[in-house]
Amino acid sequence: MLSRLKANSYGLNIEWLKVKNKETLHKIRRIAVPWSAFHAGQQRFLTQIERDARWRLLLGNLRGLFPNLTDIYLFIPVVRQLPSYDSSSDRHSQEPAKCKSLRPRLEHILENYDVVKLPACDCLEKPSTLGEAICEIRSVLEPEDGNELDWVYRDWRQSLKVHGRWLAREGLDMDSLRGVPGIEVEKAFCKEARRETEDCNI
């Protein structure tokens, strides 16, 4: 799980390109990254040429770090701090500090991805649902014939699959966080959890 993996208008953030243990990264086949990992930040109204150039660089960065990658999981934390746009630490809503000390657990998303809303962030061009985010990535991985990106790492791209997941934390009492100022609990995840519990009790 790469909770700090981030892209910007120039591909991946520079600190990721300086990772030293690349032999270990080359063995990785599956990664889980935040829902916002591939957002373009404050860049807005990109032309198609600019968008293709950005994705070409981003794909090159990813392939250089993870040449054997087969699966990308976009995760949405089920407990989040509401965005604080005057914070210098991060422009997206994050998990509260208490959550990060607990073991992470990726849960399947039962809802249709197209109805799962993404958390708020101040990126200027961004998808609004998980379905849109995944479609955006898939459209780059599986371009139409003649597309400008078609020649970029074709075999590597075609082996990649993109999925959605909830990021939960083992041992976290989510009920105790309801109504706490500045904390958001994902309603869709709670609804799915209740449904699974009811099915088990039948």
Domain ranges of the chain: 7-201
3-state class (DSSP) for residue 60: helix
Q: Contact 66/25 with Cβ under 8 angstroms?
A: yes
What DSSP character marks residue 184? Answer: E
Dig out the tokens for 31 from the structure.
Answer: 């990664």
Decide: pTM greater than 0.75: yes
Q: Tens place of pLDDT for every residue, the chain, 202 residues?
A: 887 777 766 667 767 777 778 888 889 999 999 898 888 776 666 777 887 778 878 888 888 888 899 999 999 999 888 765 544 444 566 788 778 788 999 999 988 999 999 988 777 778 899 999 999 888 877 766 556 556 666 778 778 899 999 999 898 887 777 778 888 888 778 776 665 544 433 3
The rounded distance, in Å, linking the Cα atoms of 147 and 199 is 46
